[in-house]
Amino acid sequence: AQSVTQPDIHITVSEGASLELRCNYSYGATPYLFWYVQSPGQGLQLLLKYFSGDTLVQGIKGFEAEFKRSQSSFNLRKPSVHWSDAAEYFCAVPTGGFKTIFGAGTRLFVKA
Amino acid sequence: DVKVTQSSRYLVKRTGEKVFLECVQDMDHENMFWYRQDPGLGLRLIYFSYDVKMKEKGDIPEGYSVSREKKERFSLILESASTNQTSMYLCASREGRTRLGEQFFGPGTRLTVL
């Protein structure tokens, strides 16, 4: 069955430190992959997406993600976290039907 | 600036009440979605609409119905609210050209059923 797993329910990093949020997927074909961010009190906003081609994709707010087919992963990274990055992050796979499968989310806390 | 708006940010209702959650998008999108968001469960699809008056059940449609009479508006209806429907409800839209495109989300309605 198709699934998206985000192993970390929450992560705490210091401001200025690097960040990596993990995402693993289970999908029969080469997937399309998204990362969304949900700031407190807001809806979800697309950070970046992978469709094909370069496995390293750049997104908004300084985020990037790398697609690794051999590991079935699409981890999100940022070299230096800012306090405003505190939010919940969702990895997602559109299925080609009308459904998109979302991971359970990882909540990021940023400490000063 | 594209926008999906939801009629209420916070709503408190009593058990057994009929509840309407409204969603409006200004992007002329064909596809609209209603999700429920609960801690640790991510987003679960309640209903999807791919065109006016068209709808498909999602993963958790029980206890909910929807209405789409106009392209820009998608309503979620709780016929008889129950306490286990206390949750955050998110509406989203997507253009219909591709089923693999980005969804645009509203800010959410936090519903409490007492």
* Residue of chain B minimizing CA distance to A47: B102
* pLDDT over 70 at B2, yes or no: no
More confident of the two residues A41 and B97: A41
Which chain A residues in 60-79 lie under 8 Å from chain B, judged by CB atoms? none
CA A22 to chain centre: 7
**DSSP code, position B103:** P
Report the C-alpha gap between B54 and B40 in whole angstroms. 31
Report the C-alpha gap between A52 and A13 in whole angstroms. 31
* Residue of chain A minimizing CA distance to B107: A43
Q: Which of A27, A44, A45, A48 to mutate to test the interface with B (most CBs of B within 10 A)?
A: A44
Q: Which of A43, A46, A99 sits opposite B108 (nearest CB)?
A: A43
* pLDDT over 90 at B62, yes or no: yes
* pLDDT over 90 at A94, yes or no: no
Q: Summarize pLDDT for B80-98 with one digit per residue, the tens.
A: 999 999 999 999 999 877 7
Determine what percent of chain B is predicted with pLDDT higher than 90: 85
Burial state string for A50-82 with b = 16 or more CB within 10 A and e = fewer than 16 = beeeeeebebeeebbbbbeeeeebbbbebeebe
